[in-house]
Structure 1
């Protein structure tokens, strides 16, 4: 388990492709109200923002270990969170970007599910399923406009469930969101990310979309997790969790 070298690389260490990604507009009005998807994002395939070195030989690789102090410091964990750092694990996994190249991402998950989550992403790698980016969520992102500027595949986020006061399964490290822009959350007029309204049409079959019976659902079902895309209201198309919430 090679954690020390990975932990030394922070989000600040990004590739030159980051500068090439244009910023998305801030929401013009109410939180979560669906906005028209900009034409250049109707088929969103932006470059991956690398924070870790890619797998050396192009084959799937993963690591599981304690959460390094510097990673914990840039995460959303705080003392009032419902899980302690000792019960979390830092996981790195290889994934395919929309450029077709292999990349390495990072997640924080509950210790008891870490190996299973790594195995699920191994299945996605073998299936060639594309992911835009995968990195630990930082505190300032919790209050950022929900436009969809970060199409981040992530796990642990210390926050309440959307629209509720109870802790989210993400705050326990027991949930993963995959490509939220291509797979938006919706409840009535509420759409998150706001600019992903074009992806409410699930018949478009674009890369990065999660479909029932597809490789992402199969990978997480294999480890006993449930898919929010089967919920009636809200429909959380990017969300997988062990608890089903």
Structure 2
């Protein structure tokens, strides 16, 4: 089967330059996923995730591929020099990024490989004050690649015990899924 290769890094390349402690890096895995792009072609990308959620991520991306939910790109964030903003602007779906939650000193679930972002331009973060990230993104529930409460991808994450940023209280982070206990956001 022919795939468009969006990413073909090895593990060392995928975490190169991360400031994460070795204890965290030892829990991470590089997972290859296949999905249909907005071009209608089958793509292969990669996510760095915690070994605790590796099987969930494989199963969810298998479902995403099966239902042909379009995904723009899935490339480890190292390709964006560890910049969450640059990755979002490029509409990249990603997971591990050793960083804090914006505006806080608390580690993000991304820092542990326990969060996945999908299609940030179709599924932006919308703050209470109306600010939208990435800039210029528009949340249109009927647009291809958009996540809603009824989306099979959202339901697949929720059924496995993940939390969806579309349910957060003070910000709607439509592209974000995280596993584990979450603060009141």
TM-score, structure 2 length as denominator? 0.85
Residue 107, structure 1, aligned to residue 54, structure 2: no
Residue-by-residue CA offset, 1:93-117 (whole Å, 9 max, x unaligned): 1011011111101000011111111
Conserved 8 A contact 1:175-1:242:
yes
Match of 1:193 among 123, 129, 134: 134
Residues 140 and 109 of structure 1: CA distance in aligned 2, closer, same or farther (over 3 Å): same
Match of 1:78 in 2: 19
- In the TM superposition, what is the alpha-carbon distance from 1:70 to its structure 2 partner? 2.5
Match of 1:41 in 2: none
Conserved 8 A contact 2:162-2:177:
yes
Q: Which is bigger in relative contact order (C-alpha 8 A, separation at least 6)?
A: 1
Residue 153, structure 1, aligned to residue 96, structure 2: no
Match of 1:208 among 145, 157, 163: 145
Structure 1 runs (4+) greater than 4 angstroms displaced: 143-146
- In the TM superposition, what is the alpha-carbon distance from 1:78 to its structure 2 partner? 1.6
Residue-by-residue CA offset, 1:164-187 (whole Å, 9 max, x unaligned): 110000001100000011000011
Residues 244 and 217 of structure 1: CA distance in aligned 2, closer, same or farther (over 3 Å): farther
Question: How far, CA to CA, are the matches of 1:145 and 1:88 in structure 2?
Answer: 22
Question: How far, CA to CA, are the matches of 1:95 and 1:220 in structure 2?
Answer: 16
Residue 142, structure 1, aligned to residue 117, structure 2: no
Question: How far, CA to CA, are the matches of 1:98 and 1:244 in structure 2?
Answer: 33
Residues 99 and 143 of structure 1: CA distance in aligned 2, closer, same or farther (over 3 Å): closer
Please give the secondary structure, in 1, of the residue aligned with 2:98: coil
- In the TM superposition, what is the alpha-carbon distance from 1:84 to its structure 2 partner? 2.1
Question: How far, CA to CA, are the matches of 2:103 and 2:67 in structure 1?
Answer: 34
Residue 181, structure 1, aligned to residue 121, structure 2: yes
Question: How far, CA to CA, are the matches of 1:94 and 1:71 in structure 2?
Answer: 17
Point out the structure with max Rg over C-alpha.
Answer: 1
Instruction: Name which of structure 1's ranges 185-194 and 85-94 shifts more when overlaid on structure 2.
Output: 185-194
Pairing 1:35-50 to 2, within 5 Å after superposition: 50=6
Greater strand percent: which structure? Answer: 2
